[in-house]
Chains A and B, each alone.
Chain A
Amino acid sequence: MKLNDSRTIQADVATIWAGLLNPDVLKECVPGCTEMSGSPEEGFEATVVQKVGPVKATFKGAVQMSEMVEHQSLKMSGEGKGGPAGFAKGGANVRLEADGDATILHYEVEANVGGKLAQLGSRIIDGFAKKMADQFFANFQDAVEPPDASDDAAPEEETKKKGWFRRVTGS
């Protein structure tokens, strides 16, 4: 399955670029991710727990970053093996476009599943992949955008989440 979308994020290109390459950010943003380690140069190791329709599994896999053009574009690709549940693999081409103070993040995602995931989950895999991508970029947006006025008034735990990466990196 393939999907293309874009999202406008209230952060500059450099912040977003740094976020995309940070395993802590990725861990927070990948839905169901319980472990993430590594570096952009050597690749990331990830563990993700997800339920696709009737199939719930722990996927262990590697994510590689390639075709990196700093502050402009990169390609993520990876494969997760879920043992008897099968496997999922895919990639995303990400392109960053400055839009005043904000950045438009364009993404093209391609995902494939195999084994039991394909056998039992194929009907719902497109919707599932779209939901995963949407959640990832929504989480990412939360992580890198500055807290705005309305967030200041929000409860403590909300503000903790929103903009946490910006605070950590001090940018």
Chain B
Amino acid sequence: MPKDGGIGAATTRREDVRFLTGTGKYTDDIQTHAECAAVFARSTVAHGIIKSIDTSAAADMPGVLAIFTGEDFVEVGGNPAGWLINSRDGEPMKEPKRPVLAHGKVRHVGDAYAAVIAETVQQARDAAEMIEADIEELPAITNMKDALAGDNFVHDEIGTNQCFDWGWIEDNRAATDEAIKNAHHVTTLELVNNRLVPNAMEPRSSIGSYHPGTGDYTLHTTSQNPHLTRLLISAFVMGIPENKLTVIAPDVGGGFGSKIYHYGEEALVLAAAKKLGRTVKWTADRSEAFLTDAHGRDHLTKIELALDKDGNFLAFRTETHANVGAYLSNFATATPTFLHGTLMAGNYTVPLVYVNVKAVFTNTAPVDAYRGAGRPEATYSLERVIDMAAREIGRDPTDLRRQNFIKPDQYPYASAAGLEYDSGNYDALMDKMEEVSDKAGFAARRAESEAKGMLRGFGVNAYIEACGIAPSNLVGILGSRVGLYDAATVRVNATGNLSVMVGAHSHGQGHETVFPQVVAEMLGIDPQSIDIVHGDTSKIPFGMGTYGSRSLAVCGSAVVRATEKIINKAKKIAAHMLEAAEADIDFTDGEFSVAGTDKKVSFGEVALKAYIPHNFPLEDIEPGLEETAFYDPANFTYPSGAYCCEVEIDPETGKVRVDRMTAVDDFGNVINPMVVTGQVHGGLGQGIGQALLENTTYDENGQLLSASYMDYAMPRADDVPYYIVDHSQGNACTHNPLGVKGCGEAGAIGSPPTVVNAVIDAIQSGGINVTHIDMPVSPHRVWAAMNNAK
């Protein structure tokens, strides 16, 4: 039955019907009677002491219902960091409180110090403008290295701007230093991993409501993980018991990481709802999104690669300054450490890796995980320095990588950065990439470009990432304060259709299409009879949400486990119906049969029987057909890929055009190839955006200068080429039941170094000795680098 709709089928996305016809329902679309609006008063200075806040004029404005300031939240908790990092000296990281509203000081432009609740959003906005805040501006801390040297602190109570100074693997430090000191050749590269604004199409929005009769709170919010948001509000910030708080994340228009986290606005609308007994809505405008969504990347890195005389990698050593912004966002401490340092061995048999990361507080918006989260930073550093080393020692960049690849017979492979890779075949990915990209035709295409006066470059990259986050046992040892399992409930209704409640939230990933394919395949039934329920803590058992390319590998595995339980129970019911021993029941293609006979019942008949249990052996079988499973992975999954791109540069202007882009990925088994291709396309677009266009700029006073689409360049259709995407070289993940690896972030991880490597190749083909240009490789930067090198 499911052969055209089960595992491996490229069925179109069922959720697209509502998204493409404008019938999706996002948080701001939800309207209730007696709803009122919240508007925040936000700091226009990056750093300052709040001397006083006079709300009296604002309170007299029409329609104003309530005004909150930081004083109102002194008694409630702070929004915590989810991951404890210890410094090299064993000291735990510094964790200054992150309040609901700024109190005492404002710490970045956009830091909210007051909120106005009024009948309409216009009234609230007018009143917010009447709040008189006397804020004494202090010098802003924007440069990470200066921040560590000075005595001007973002958080005075911790007496430093350093959150932690982390070493990985500390025991390898001396040996790595020694290897680099004695190496035949060392390539050194200093680079910037440019700060990015996530720019989800839907800005953040939250609606709080409170039922005075029951004491129940409901929060509708733009979240990638409603259960985690509920947990944070309950356990840390507001103390609302989990059984009194429902968090619902309806359709969400993109997250890319920025909607993983709990934000103060969510707590504020709940507090206001209780105080007023009204439903309170807040929706960010685009300026607020730029100023307050957790940003991504922002690393300054020095990386060194030591090689022997034959080109074998001996050691990687990196020193990174990672900006965490003004407050610790929920995953801010994990992103530059365990999601970054553990990947610094790449796809290579390098024996030694040492990573030092200093996380630094600055007067800028919080920085946290953004599509790829640490792995793009690792991959970019590695793949840029390897490319540079190949050029320095006169080796072909692809050839040098191949020489150092882990070979297929070496799995499971313990990397020098502490992970155990389960499977992979990097040479096969390279071979496929060279084939489908027509690498052989590059020389002719370069000649054509040169005939037009253009420079053409070929850039290559190999990446590995750790996703399917994450084995709770492992991350617990590494400092995570949560477990990273997921959960699913499979409910077979009496009439044979299914509702599958999943912990993973879908906001563009295609879960509503893909998860039913898995269940349909296992049960041998029509996937159209299966619906996914997600995003509502009152409907689903539990969930850790969607990030880290984990949904299918972790939550999908929970779906498999729950469906297996359904099959086991259904077999019992079928055995009873067929008057046979349970051991004799076969289940294939949606039918239960007695081995060696023609006696059989369909899945639908068993489902009906489960709910009409006449003549049931109740001591052996309960009525109903509903099962829940929690799944905690044994390891990360390790997708890998070989990417290449060709760029054409106009030497007169420095303008880079990506002409061809090829992504060959090992995602293990693929459930829906069309959905996977779409995920790769999106990631590639974001990676090309980082490489060519996007940059977040604060001036020395901490003012965000790139705070609108006039100044922050997002990739547009004509900035990206036709993509060649291939996932035919999958090696099944060895430790999850579907054999799948995560695919959501790969494109954004693999593409930035590919583009920059191609740019350097193009420039050097013109005889100009440019060895590195920081992203974004804008026309100005390319032109300046070329002209400075002449």
Contact = CB atoms under 8 A, between A and B. Distances in A.
Interface stretch (A5-13, A28-36, A80-88, A101-109): A80-88
Given A87-B44, A114-B44, A114-B45, A120 B701 contact: no
A86 B707 CA distance: 13
B129 A119 contact: no
Contacts of A114: 44-45, 109, 701, 703
A119 B701 contact: no
Nearest to B128: A84
Contacts of A119: 109, 287, 290-291, 703-705, 707-708
Contacts of B704: 118-119
A20 interface: no
B711 A122 contact: yes
A122 B708 CA distance: 10
B45 to A, nearest CB: 6
Contacts of B44: 86-87, 114-116
B699 interface: yes
A78 B128 CA distance: 25
A118 B140 CA distance: 15
Contact of A118 (B128, B129, B699): B699
Contacts of B109: 114-115, 118-119
Q: How large is the interface on A (under 10, 10 to 19, 20 to 34, 35 or more residues)?
A: 10 to 19
Interface in B678-710: 699, 701, 703-708, 710
B58 to A, nearest CB: 12
Contact of A120 (B45, B129, B699, B710): B710
A122 B290 CA distance: 15
Interface in B551-586: none
A112 interface: yes
Contacts of B45: 87, 114-115
B129 A84 contact: yes
Contacts of B710: 120, 123
Contacts of B711: 122-123
Given A83-B129, A84-B129, A114-B109, A120 B703 contact: no
A143 interface: no
A26 interface: no
Interface string A102-140: 000000000011111011101100000000000000000
A83 B708 CA distance: 19
Interface string A43-67: 0000000000000000000000000
Nearest to B125: A84
A147 B710 CA distance: 45
Contact of B703 (A84, A118, A123): A118
Interface string B34-75: 000000000011000000000000000000000000000000
A116 B701 contact: no
Residue of A86, A87, A115 with most chain B CB atoms under a 10 A cut-off: A115
A1 to B, nearest CB: 10
Contacts of B701: 112, 114
Contact of B705 (A83, A84, A86, A118): A118
Interface residues of B, number: 18
Contacts of A83: 129
A112 B701 CA distance: 8
Nearest to A84: B129
Interface in B701-758: 701, 703-708, 710-711
A115 B703 CA distance: 7
Residue of A83, A86, A119 with most chain B CB atoms under a 10 A cut-off: A119
A83 B704 CA distance: 17
Contacts of B706: 122
Contacts, number: 46
A46 B399 CA distance: 69
A75 B774 CA distance: 40
Interface string B93-111: 0000000000000000100
Nearest to A112: B701
Contacts of A123: 710-711
Nearest to B130: A83
A120 B291 CA distance: 12
Contacts of B699: 118, 122
A122 B109 CA distance: 15
B704 to A, nearest CB: 6
Contacts of A115: 44-45, 109, 703
B129 A113 contact: no
A50 B313 CA distance: 60
Contacts of A87: 44-45
A116 B286 CA distance: 12
Nearest to A85: B44
Contacts of B287: 116, 119-120
Nearest to A118: B703
Nearest to B704: A119
A16 B704 CA distance: 39
Contacts of B708: 119-120
Nearest to B46: A114
Interface in B309-357: none
Contacts of B290: 119
Contacts of B707: 118-120
A86 B708 CA distance: 15
A118 B44 CA distance: 9
Nearest to B126: A84
A86 B290 CA distance: 16
A22 B287 CA distance: 40
A122 to B, nearest CB: 4
A163 B703 CA distance: 41
A86 B45 CA distance: 9
B628 to A, nearest CB: 47
Nearest to B699: A118
A112 B700 CA distance: 10
Interface in B236-291: 287, 290-291
B191 to A, nearest CB: 25
A122 B710 CA distance: 10
Nearest to B291: A119
A55 to B, nearest CB: 11
A18 to B, nearest CB: 34
Given A87-B44, A115-B109, A116-B287, A122 B129 contact: no
A102 to B, nearest CB: 38
A112 B705 CA distance: 12
A84 B703 CA distance: 14
A86 B699 CA distance: 15
Contacts of A120: 287, 707-708, 710
B699 to A, nearest CB: 7
Interface string B580-618: 000000000000000000000000000000000000000
A120 B710 CA distance: 8
A119 to B, nearest CB: 3
Contacts of B128: 84
A128 to B, nearest CB: 14
B436 to A, nearest CB: 41
Residue of B287, B291, B705 with most chain A CB atoms under a 10 A cut-off: B705
A122 B705 CA distance: 6
A118 B287 CA distance: 11
B216 to A, nearest CB: 36
Contacts of B703: 112-115, 118-119, 122
A38 B699 CA distance: 33
Nearest to A125: B705
Contacts of A113: 703
A155 B470 CA distance: 82
Interface of B: 44-45, 109, 128-129, 287, 290-291, 699, 701, 703-708, 710-711
6 contacts: A84-B128, A118-B704, A119-B703, A122-B699, A122-B703, A122-B706
Give 7 closest A-B pairs by Cβ, nearest first: A115-B44, A119-B707, A118-B703, A122-B705, A114-B44, A86-B44, A84-B129
Given A115-B44, A116-B287, 12 more contacts: A83-B129, A87-B44, A114-B703, A116-B44, A118-B699, A118-B704, A118-B707, A119-B109, A119-B287, A119-B290, A119-B291, A120-B707
